[in-house]
């Protein structure tokens, strides 16, 4: 009998995770099946009890439950505690353990464009201070980056994020206006918000008129593959990277937690890109 895995969220119909994980199960000849579960907002506790009763081996967590799920788990690892969010649950030694692969998946995806040493010496701007930004900021700090500004509509929220994950270096919360004015000082600019995601595809999280040529502009969005932000940055001579890599790498880390198998990342990226109707920009 196949082991059951899945992803919980609300909504969940748009998720590409079932397609990706089930392809990995087939490719690795692993007896597993991955199913999307749409959980009503007042049914999370009941849903988790049901998943435990079904003896599921693990599952992913997406919006809006990454924080709300924590009280229902037996343990939460150091990364998830620091970030304050769980995106992966693993059944380990008789316990349900929460972890977070988003940040490490994102940093791994940056290897498509930058080496570890290049990353460490880069001046980085994160746009947004929400859940995605928390995981990415934590992983970047752990990767040895010590020059990061976080731009957000509410500067206090950006500053609070930084204060919760203390480290030595140039870490600062700034306004979106300040970031726009000083855009030339950044080597990597990362949109961690949902601005520009389908169907609002003409929206940009920040104006990039001042971006310098050769800067790496990154968007964690992968629908569309090339957001308005990435398109504008490319027109001004920047390199670009969309969210396909982060999506696949974070999923691969979850898959490895569950099975002990490192799946084929390159093949999965090609599958997601083709499913979205194009190629990585």
69 annotated ligand-binding residue? no
122 annotated ligand-binding residue? no
157 annotated ligand-binding residue? yes
182 annotated ligand-binding residue? no
Task: Report residue 3: phi and psi, to 5°.
Answer: -75, 145
Q: Where are the beta strands (DSSP E) in the chain?
A: 3-9, 32-38, 58-61, 75-76, 88-92, 95-99, 124-127, 147-151, 170-174, 188-191, 216-219, 239-241
45 annotated ligand-binding residue? no
250 annotated ligand-binding residue? yes
146 annotated ligand-binding residue? no
171, 159 contact by CB (below 8 A): no
205, 183 contact by CB (below 8 A): no
87 annotated ligand-binding residue? yes
Q: Read off the tokens for 185.
A: 């000082």
210 annotated ligand-binding residue? no
91 annotated ligand-binding residue? no
Q: Please tell me what DSSP assigns to residue 183.
A: G
Interatomic CA distance for residues 82 and 138, integer angstroms: 8
* Burial of 60 (C-beta count, 10 Å sphere; 0-12/13-18/19+): buried
169 annotated ligand-binding residue? no
132 annotated ligand-binding residue? yes
Q: Determine the 3-state secondary structure of 267 from DSSP.
A: helix
144 annotated ligand-binding residue? no
Q: Read off the tokens for 28.
A: 């690795």
The distance of Cα 230 from the centroid of its chain, to the nearest Å, equals 17
62 annotated ligand-binding residue? yes
Residues 6+ away with beta carbon under 8 Å from 73 = 86, 89, 96, 97, 98
Catalytic annotation, residues: 66
194 annotated ligand-binding residue? no
Residues 6+ away with beta carbon under 8 Å from 155 = 173, 174, 175
159 annotated ligand-binding residue? no
Q: 101, 142, 153, 127: which is closest to 217 by C-alpha?
A: 127
Known binding-site residues for shikimate equal: 15-17, 62, 87, 102, 222, 250
Q: Which residues are annotated as a binding site for NADP(+)?
A: 128-132, 152-157, 220, 243
Indicate the annotated binding residues. 15-17, 62, 87, 102, 128-132, 152-157, 220, 222, 243, 250
């Amino acid at each position: 009998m196949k082991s059951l895995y899945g992803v919980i969220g609300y909504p969940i119909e748009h998720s590409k995770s079932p397609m990706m994980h089930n392809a990995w199960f087939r490719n690795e000849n692993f007896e597993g099946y991955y199913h999307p579960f749409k959980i009503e907002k007042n049914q999370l506790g009941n849903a988790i009890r049901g998943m435990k009763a079904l003896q599921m081996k693990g599952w992913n967590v997406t919006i809006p439950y990454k924080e709300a799920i924590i009280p229902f788990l037996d343990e939460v690892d150091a990364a998830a505690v620091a970030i304050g969010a769980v995106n992966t649950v693993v059944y380990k030694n008789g316990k349900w353990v929460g972890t977070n692969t988003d940040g490490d998946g994102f940093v791994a995806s940056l290897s498509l464009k930058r080496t570890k040493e290049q990353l460490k010496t880069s001046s980085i701007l994160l746009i947004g201070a929400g859940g995605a930004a928390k995981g990415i900021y934590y992983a970047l700090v752990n990767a040895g980056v010590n020059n990061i500004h976080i731009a957000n509509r509410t500067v206090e929220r950006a500053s609070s994020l930084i204060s919760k994950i203390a480290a030595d270096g140039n870490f600062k919360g700034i306004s979106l206006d300040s970031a726009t004015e000083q855009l030339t000082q950044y080597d990597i600019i990362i949109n961690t918000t949902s601005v520009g995601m389908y169907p609002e595809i003409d929206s940009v999280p920040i104006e990039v008129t001042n971006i310098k040529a050769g800067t790496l502009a990154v968007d964690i969005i992968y629908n569309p593959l090339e957001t308005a932000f990435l398109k504008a940055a490319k027109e001004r001579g920047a390199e670009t990277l969309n969210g396909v890599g982060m999506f696949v790498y974070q999923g691969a880390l979850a898959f490895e937690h569950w099975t002990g198998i490192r799946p084929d990342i390159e093949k999965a990226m090609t599958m997601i890109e083709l499913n979205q109707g194009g190629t990585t920009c």
